Structure 1
Amino acid sequence: MVLTSLDDDQAVETVSIPLAGKSSIADYMVVASGKSTRQVASMAQKLSEKIKAEFGRSPRVEGLPTADWVLIDAGDVIVHLFRPEVRSFYNLERMWAFGDTPAAGNA
């Protein structure tokens, strides 16, 4: 549902990272970019509403006022939405991909 929502909102470079064996904070981490703060904020708001409608609980959302980096904690899935410049600065995919083989194009 998270990936479909982000795809519908034209998220860029969406990556799903399984966290099994890496962390107990969630089962998956999803990282995606929006082209502007407006798009990042819109994707975050829509995704939060869909999570609440489908699962009956509101996810925790951090960073929405500036929308450079928005974190959505939906329990089993943690979603990070970035503007591209901020995403490349923090490079979360690299930090959480330890033990994995590099993705095509990232080697």
Structure 2
Amino acid sequence: MTGLFPDMTSEDLLAHILASLEDDKAEEITTIDLRGKSSMADYMVVCSGRSTRQVSAISDKLRDRLKQDFGRTVRLEGKEQGDWVLIDAGDIIVHVFRPEVREFYQIEKMWMTPDNVTART
């Protein structure tokens, strides 16, 4: 990985992202290991916020923490609506959903196999 922290692994970045999500009270945090399954990222993280306001806040705070702590600029998609925000952090893709939208799309089911999912409540 390049940038301010060239020795940072995707696992280090994942740990930072998970801590940020937990700090902001994201719910049903699920980590999907994509290594060897997709070239788009090493991990996908899916979580929920209780409202559009919380989904937006979780996304903003994660973006700000990654910028402040690692000098990493991430892209946000969908923040204006607040139903589903995609955060592209390079090696990690984060999806933050309102619960109803997450249930509708069931994005985890597209990528899950018994050996590549870690869930947190």
TM-score by length of 1: 0.90
Unaligned runs of 5+ in 2: 1-15
Aligned equivalent of 2:62, options 26, 47, 50:
47
Q: Which residue of the partner structure matches residue 72 of structure 2?
A: 57
Number of aligned pairs? 101
Match for residue 6 of structure 1 among 21, 29, 39:
21
* Stretches of structure 1 lacking an aligned partner (at least 5 in a row): none
Task: Give, in whole Å, the separation in 1 of the partners of 2:114 and 2:60.
Answer: 33
Query: Moved runs in structure 1, 4+ residues, more than 4 A?
Result: none
Higher RCO (CA < 8 A, seq sep 6+): 2
User: Which residue is equivalent to 1:69?
Assistant: 84
Q: Sequence identity of aligned pairs in percent?
A: 57
Cα deviations by residue, 1:77-107 (Å, 9 ceiling, x for unpaired): 000000000001110110011xx2287xxxx
Provide the alpha-carbon RMSD of the alignment. 1.2
Taking structure 2 as the reference length, the TM-score comes to 0.80
Instruction: Tell me the equivalent position of 1:24.
Output: 39
Alignment deviations for residues 9-30 of structure 1 (CA, whole Å, 9 cap, x no partner): 1111000101012101011000
| TM-fit CA distance, 1:57 | 2.4
Q: What secondary structure does 2:104 align onto?
A: helix
Show the counterpart of 1:101.
114
